[in-house]
Amino acid sequence: MKDIMTAPFLGEMIELTSQMYRLGWDERNGGNISMMLDEAEVSEYLSLDRVLRNIPIGFSAPTLAGRYFLVTGTGKYFRNVRRDPETNLGLFRIASDCKTAELLWGYRDNGRFTSELPAHLMSHMARLTVDPENRIVMHCHPTHTLAMNYVHPLEERAFTHTLWEMSTECIVVFPEGVGVLPWMLCGTNRIGEATAEKMKEFRAVIWGMHGVYAAGKTPDEAFGLVETIEKAAEVFMLTAHLPRINTIRDRELQELAEAFGVAYRKDFLNL
């Protein structure tokens, strides 16, 4: 059995949490990440028969039974993951009852997964129906994106259109746009269900006055999606109070999307 501390998936999670903390996206214990793993890669590092304890997940996830997840812990600071991954992370399998997490490694201080786990697992289920290769769901609080929530209409078409205008790459990186939810109580099945519904259409969902949920096939894809949204929001916040002399016009956005061959939301443009 290989040492789990050498596992590539653990290294990816450590790097991801470190970079998100460095950028100020995940202050204190804000933010959470779930990474779906293949049984074959987990079995190289852990005995699949050795369950440390069972933790109820708070709802039924029938399409995830037997799936493995590496997930940040509740109340844990991202800045501490690199120093002590076994306390701040946990690796578990969704049991055959679809309602229990079978902990195989981590949460060493008798901790448990993030309180946002229902939203994560529901989002995984939703994304897998449209993208069978989806593996990552991440939630964070990017500063400029959050600030934009307070001064811009929280409506999907308008929010997406503004982001697209802020940088040439935006319509290429997230051609489907971004989903938007109003403020909702976090850590509940209700917000999880609402996020999952949006995830059938969008890879990124804005939680009003809270943050962003993003999904991807790889850590780089999910991270890069948030990174691009946050850069566009920063440009908006830096210029929102100034007269706008130039902008990327809708015909130019259309030209750009079609040149890169991406399936963009035509109804989000004024053509």
Domains 1-115 and 117-271 fall in the same CATH topology: yes
Determine the pLDDT at residue 266: 97
What φ, ψ does residue 34 adopt, rounded to 5°?
Answer: -130, 135
Catalytic residue, from 116, 156, 227, 234: name it. 116
CATH architecture of residue range(s) 1-115: 3-Layer(aba) Sandwich (3.40)
Which CATH number does the domain 117-271 belong to among 1.20.950.20, 3.90.1150.10, 3.40.225.10, 3.40.50.1370?
A: 3.40.225.10
Determine the pLDDT at residue 52: 97
Nearest to 71 by CA among 43, 38, 36: 36
What φ, ψ does residue 37 adopt, rounded to 5°?
Answer: -115, 155
Segments making up each domain of the chain, as ranges: 1-115, 117-271
Determine the pLDDT at residue 142: 98
Supply the DSSP string of 120-149, one letter for each residue. Answer: HHHHHHHHHHH-TT--EEEEE--HHHHHHH
Tokens describing residue 201: 């259409």
Local confidence pLDDT in tens for the 271 residues of the chain: 899 999 999 999 999 999 999 999 999 989 999 999 999 999 999 999 999 999 999 999 999 999 999 999 999 999 999 999 999 999 999 999 999 999 999 999 999 999 999 999 999 999 999 999 999 999 999 999 999 999 999 999 999 999 999 999 999 999 999 999 999 999 899 999 999 999 999 999 999 999 999 999 999 999 999 999 999 999 999 999 999 999 999 999 999 999 999 999 999 999 8
- H/E/C letters for each residue in 69-96? EEEEECCCCHHHCCCCHHHHEEEEEECC
Q: Is 116 a catalytic residue?
A: yes
Determine the pLDDT at residue 126: 97
